[in-house]
Chains A and B, each alone.
Chain A
Amino acid sequence: MAKSAEQTTSQSHDLRQILRASMDALLVPLLAVLTAMILGGLVIAFAGGNPIYAYLGLFQGAFGSTKALSETAVWATPYIFAGLAVALAFKGGLFNIGAEGQLAFGAVVSALIGYALPDLLGISLPAIIHIPLAVGGGMLAGALWAAIPGALKAYTGGHEVINTIMMNYIALNMTSFLLNAPMKDPNPLNVVARTPSIAESARIPPLFEGFRVHWGFALALLVAFLVWWLLWKTTLGFEIRTVGANPDAAKYAGINVKRTIVLTMALSGLLAGLAGTIEVTALNYRHELGFSVGYGFDAIAIALLGKTHPLGVVIAAILFGAMRNGATRMQFLTQIPVDIISVIQALILLLVAAEAIIRYLYRLRAREERVVLTRGWGG
């Protein structure tokens, strides 16, 4: 009896500790957002606007109606996928700046499968086959695109930060070429660089009739859960996190560090590819040059704001989606340009990355653990 009582108290003690730790993990991002909003408000006031009206408009535009909510979810969907991609790489000790390119590549491949496959085969495919093919193809493309810098890191020591940036250039310029020439929509009325529409059978339907929010949003939430499960509940996740936390100990523990690095990058690219794929198959029904610009980079901010935790990423992605979505309404109401949102988002990232500023401003005690952004070159 005494023993079990002791165990319960020790367990409730552990629970308290976990709670306190998660509170602490939440505190800095929350304060960073708050501080960025205050600073952004000052910028708005300086530009001659009324910050309160501006933020009111922002909130209305993001959450003020069912349509607003639907649009926020639409914005948040690629952010969740891409944010998870960057966060997963961070957990494995890798800084994937290449989500942008992996996303574009995933979108191109999935659009190609979406519009060209039925013609190529000469039959119409049922949705149950065509959707998984299009989505799977896009995921695979993203995974392969990210596995290349992963392999370069693992086997040659080439730093993934440099190599993912380089891979971005290749992917974006290749996409531009493909959309302007071989994959360009042949419709004579079309003047922009975009693919033809994908077949009906490759389209993911909306969640509710009359709203743009689609099943991709539900999939994003499911994938966030799966990423959490993978990282914390499976042996593969244990290996990824161990390589991320201490590669020397990982090697000592018998983990194949090189293979894990390649795999982590591939998984990260897979998620980024999914972000592009879902935009094609569930929203735009085609790939158009420039639609995805910035998602991969915003994803870095989202992953950091979400403290590289899947739940945090979902929250941060919805916040970013809400800001992007509400900005139009804000501009309409107060004539404050939507670009102020980019200023606020940049401030958030800055304050989250330079956590010491927040800790100093609000007199918070330092935490021992930090997200390892990147290790030494070639390390």
Chain B
Amino acid sequence: MTENYMLSEARPEPRRRIETNIVLEAKGITKQFPGVLANDKVNFDLRKGEIHALLGENGAGKSTLMNLIYGLHRPDKGDVIVNGKTAAIHSPNDSISLGIGMVHQHFMLIPVFTVAENVMLGDETIKRGALDRNTVAAKINEISKQYGLDADPNALVGDLPVGLQQRVEIVKTLYRNAEIVILDEPTAVLTPQEAEDLFRIMRDLTARGVSIIFITHKLKEALAIADRITVMRAGRVINTVLPSETDSAQLANMMVGRQVILTVDKKDHEAKEAVLKVENLSVRDQRDLETVHHVSFFVRGGEVLGIAGVQGNGQTELSEALTGLRHPTGGKVFISGHDVTGKPPRVMTETGLAHIPEDRQRHGLVMSYSVADNMALCDYYHPPFSKRGVIQPKALDENARRLISAFDVRTPSPFVNAGKLSGGNQQKVIVARELSRSVKLVIANQPTRGLDVGSIEYIHSVIVKMRDNGAAVLLVSAELDEIMALSDRIAVMYRGQIVAMVETKKSTREQLGLWMAGAHVETA
């Protein structure tokens, strides 16, 4: 099969039997963005009825390639060939009419509209001047039945769980007669069980002749579901392989270009007394809904407590309450015995908290400030960074240069604006600032989200080092693998409560996945 791929490369003239089943082909695609060659002579093809995984780190050029195919950008060079004909795709409308549908990582749905309204949006069926909901609903039911998608046309999208919202997106593409469906990081927001459901749906779709491009950075998923895997790195296609002929180590190698340690090197460590103690904590979100209900736990010095859970189960509000960004509505928080309930962030920092915030661009950095200023963002007001209310630029500069080399931040100089750095380096600026202080407690929320493997590895090693040096670490992450690799104990959050607390050694992925999905609630 790999040879066919090679053949089609070598012989551009009309092909026979085998070639007829290639539904989509990208040839020599090149796309230059200011300062980045996002796609460099990329070749990619998709056969009828296959799942073709496009694997790569963030910034490898996967999304760019798909945006070019979907018509959100135009390539500088190269052609997109759909069903054997060179296609001129200028906008998503063109790609939709060619039978290409895309499910974006962030859903393009309107929560207050029904499923039917969302599905017909932009392609409304109108009968006597009014929206014809019945015809649309009938068609949705037909599609749902045919593909086992299980979508109620009259339900409000906002009421549906994320997994079902994703299905609505898939129905949307099928409703527009898509024969090629692009799924951009579809499992990022799903529980392991929901991901399994999605994979089943993907197989059903391909069995009925739909071809799928599956964009992911998760090796295991690509290996589990794909018929072929194409690996991209730094804008280029590295190789296209069959899952049966490769393994995760080889794929990781292709993705990163070097040998990667997938497991974190972590020694057993003696945990000491509790540094963070949380008693009966309740927190409300900005809509005034209680999203954390009476949560109690502790984190000891020298241990990592991982909070696992699907996003949106109260982890954000919990960590905001623990770091002073949000006022809890009930309960107590202690750091090293000091009652810091509802205290502002400065008190928390001065009690020994380091906080790696969930949203690095919103909370962690001032994008229009230099790296040096950002590295002193929490410490600017005391010596050596300021004396008698006057900032000491020299101290800021020295601090920045020291941290840049100690934490391997890739920046042209300390004076460059943080907004100009890559995501991985932005995160390193935050990690450097927070973990270079003498801290007793580290609260890291999604510390590696959206980062490349190199940065992830580095940040993981720093977190483990903090633990080994005796700090208490509270790690909140939606990546179960990250939680399992770093944590000594794992707490699972579901709908604002901690539904399970286990030692990592005694836990299994499956069991944690069930808890994350709220299985205890159904069995209880």
CB distance from A251 to the nearest CB of B (A): 6
Are B367 and A17 touching (Cβ within 8 A)? no
Binding stretch for chain A, among B288-296, B344-352, B503-511: B344-352
A24 interface contact, C-beta 8 A: no
A4 interface contact, C-beta 8 A: no
A246: B residues at CB distance < 8 A? 362, 365-368
Chief secondary structure at chain B's binding surface: loop
Are B368 and A369 touching (Cβ within 8 A)? yes
CA distance A236 to B391 in the complex (A): 9
A102 interface contact, C-beta 8 A: no
CA distance A232 to B369 in the complex (A): 12
B5 interface contact, C-beta 8 A: no
CB distance from B172 to the nearest CB of A (A): 30
CB distance from A3 to the nearest CB of B (A): 12
Are A251 and B415 touching (Cβ within 8 A)? no
> Of B355, B363, B364, B366, which is within 8 A of A245 by CB?
B366
Are B391 and A235 touching (Cβ within 8 A)? yes
Are B366 and A235 touching (Cβ within 8 A)? no
Binding stretch for chain B, among A252-260, A274-282, A325-333: A252-260
B154 interface contact, C-beta 8 A: no
CA distance A250 to B344 in the complex (A): 12
Are B390 and A254 touching (Cβ within 8 A)? no
Are B390 and A245 touching (Cβ within 8 A)? no
B386: A residues at CB distance < 8 A? 234-235
CA distance A10 to B349 in the complex (A): 34
Are A233 and B391 touching (Cβ within 8 A)? yes
CB distance from B217 to the nearest CB of A (A): 27
Are B345 and A235 touching (Cβ within 8 A)? no
A232: B residues at CB distance < 8 A? 391
A238: B residues at CB distance < 8 A? 373, 380-381, 391
CA distance A234 to B349 in the complex (A): 21
Are B389 and A236 touching (Cβ within 8 A)? yes
CA distance A254 to B355 in the complex (A): 11
CA distance A232 to B370 in the complex (A): 13
CA distance A253 to B350 in the complex (A): 11
CB distance from A260 to the nearest CB of B (A): 12
Are A249 and B344 touching (Cβ within 8 A)? no
Are A252 and B345 touching (Cβ within 8 A)? yes
Are B366 and A249 touching (Cβ within 8 A)? yes
A245: B residues at CB distance < 8 A? 366-369
CA distance A49 to B39 in the complex (A): 58
Chain B residue with minimal CB distance to A15? B415
CB distance from B381 to the nearest CB of A (A): 5
Residue with the highest number of chain B CB atoms closer than 10 Å, among A232, A237, A246, A253: A253
B365: A residues at CB distance < 8 A? 246, 249
A14 interface contact, C-beta 8 A: yes
Residue-wise, chain A 52-76 has the 8 Å CB interface mask toward B (1 for contact) of: 0000000000000000000000000
Are B415 and A14 touching (Cβ within 8 A)? yes
A251: B residues at CB distance < 8 A? 325, 345, 363
Are A254 and B378 touching (Cβ within 8 A)? yes
> Of B345, B359, B391, which is within 8 A of A254 by CB?
B345
> Of B345, B415, B419, which is within 8 A of A17 by CB?
B415
B377 interface contact, C-beta 8 A: yes
Knowing A13-B413, A17-B415 touch, does A252 contact B364 (C-beta < 8 A)?
yes
Are A252 and B389 touching (Cβ within 8 A)? no
User: Of residues 226 to 243 in A, which have CB atoms within 8 Å of B's CB atoms?
Assistant: 232-238, 242
CA distance A250 to B345 in the complex (A): 10
User: Of residues 394 to 422 in B, which have CB atoms within 8 Å of A's CB atoms?
Assistant: 412-413, 415, 417, 419
CB distance from B393 to the nearest CB of A (A): 8
B235 interface contact, C-beta 8 A: no
CA distance A256 to B381 in the complex (A): 12
Are A252 and B355 touching (Cβ within 8 A)? yes
* Size class of the contact patch on chain B: 20 to 34
B357 interface contact, C-beta 8 A: yes
User: Of residues 371 to 395 in B, which have CB atoms within 8 Å of A's CB atoms?
Assistant: 373, 377-378, 380-381, 386, 389-391
A119 interface contact, C-beta 8 A: no
Chain B residue with minimal CB distance to A236? B389
Knowing A14-B415, A245-B368, A245-B369 touch, does A235 contact B363 (C-beta < 8 A)?
no
Size of the chain A interface, CB-CB below 8 angstroms: 26
CB distance from B197 to the nearest CB of A (A): 36
CB distance from A373 to the nearest CB of B (A): 15
Are A233 and B344 touching (Cβ within 8 A)? no
Are B349 and A254 touching (Cβ within 8 A)? yes
Are B345 and A242 touching (Cβ within 8 A)? no
Residue-wise, chain B 324-346 has the 8 Å CB interface mask toward A (1 for contact) of: 01000000000000000000111
CB distance from A244 to the nearest CB of B (A): 10
> Of B359, B381, B412, which is within 8 A of A235 by CB?
B381
Are B366 and A234 touching (Cβ within 8 A)? no
CB distance from A158 to the nearest CB of B (A): 18
CB distance from B83 to the nearest CB of A (A): 39
CB distance from B184 to the nearest CB of A (A): 26
Residue-wise, chain A 8-20 has the 8 Å CB interface mask toward B (1 for contact) of: 0010011001100
CA distance A237 to B366 in the complex (A): 15
A250: B residues at CB distance < 8 A? 366
Chain B residue with minimal CB distance to A18? B415
CA distance A368 to B389 in the complex (A): 31
CA distance A262 to B355 in the complex (A): 27
CA distance A10 to B401 in the complex (A): 12
Are A256 and B344 touching (Cβ within 8 A)? yes
Are B391 and A248 touching (Cβ within 8 A)? no
Are A234 and B391 touching (Cβ within 8 A)? yes
B367: A residues at CB distance < 8 A? 245-246
Are B413 and A242 touching (Cβ within 8 A)? no
CA distance A233 to B387 in the complex (A): 11
B359: A residues at CB distance < 8 A? 248
A249: B residues at CB distance < 8 A? 362-366, 377
Chain A residue with minimal CB distance to B377? A253
Chain A residue with minimal CB distance to B355? A252
B355: A residues at CB distance < 8 A? 252
CA distance A255 to B378 in the complex (A): 8
Chain A residue with minimal CB distance to B347? A254
Are A252 and B344 touching (Cβ within 8 A)? no
Chain A residue with minimal CB distance to B323? A252
Are B357 and A252 touching (Cβ within 8 A)? yes
User: Of residues 10 to 38 in A, which have CB atoms within 8 Å of B's CB atoms?
Assistant: 10, 13-14, 17-18
CB distance from B4 to the nearest CB of A (A): 46
CB distance from B212 to the nearest CB of A (A): 37
B366: A residues at CB distance < 8 A? 242, 245-246, 249-250
CA distance A178 to B172 in the complex (A): 68
Are A234 and B344 touching (Cβ within 8 A)? no
CA distance A242 to B355 in the complex (A): 18
CA distance A158 to B366 in the complex (A): 25
CA distance A246 to B344 in the complex (A): 17
Residue with the highest number of chain A CB atoms closer than 10 Å, among B345, B357, B359: B345
CA distance A253 to B348 in the complex (A): 10
CB distance from B425 to the nearest CB of A (A): 17
Knowing A249-B377, A253-B377, A254-B349 touch, does A234 contact B390 (C-beta < 8 A)?
yes
B377: A residues at CB distance < 8 A? 242, 249, 252-253
User: Of residues 209 to 250 in B, which have CB atoms within 8 Å of A's CB atoms?
Assistant: none
B362: A residues at CB distance < 8 A? 246, 248-249
CA distance A199 to B32 in the complex (A): 71
A positions within 8 Å CB-CB of B: 10, 13-14, 17-18, 232-238, 242, 245-246, 248-256, 368-369
The 10 closest A-B pairs by CB, nearest first: A254-B346, A252-B363, A253-B377, A254-B345, A246-B366, A235-B386, A245-B366, A14-B415, A235-B381, A248-B362
10 contacting pairs across A/B (C-beta < 8 A): A10-B412, A235-B386, A236-B389, A238-B381, A242-B366, A246-B365, A251-B345, A252-B355, A252-B357, A254-B346
Task: Supply 8 further A-B pairs (C-beta < 8 A) apart from A14-B415, A249-B365.
Answer: A13-B413, A17-B415, A233-B390, A235-B380, A246-B367, A251-B345, A254-B346, A255-B346
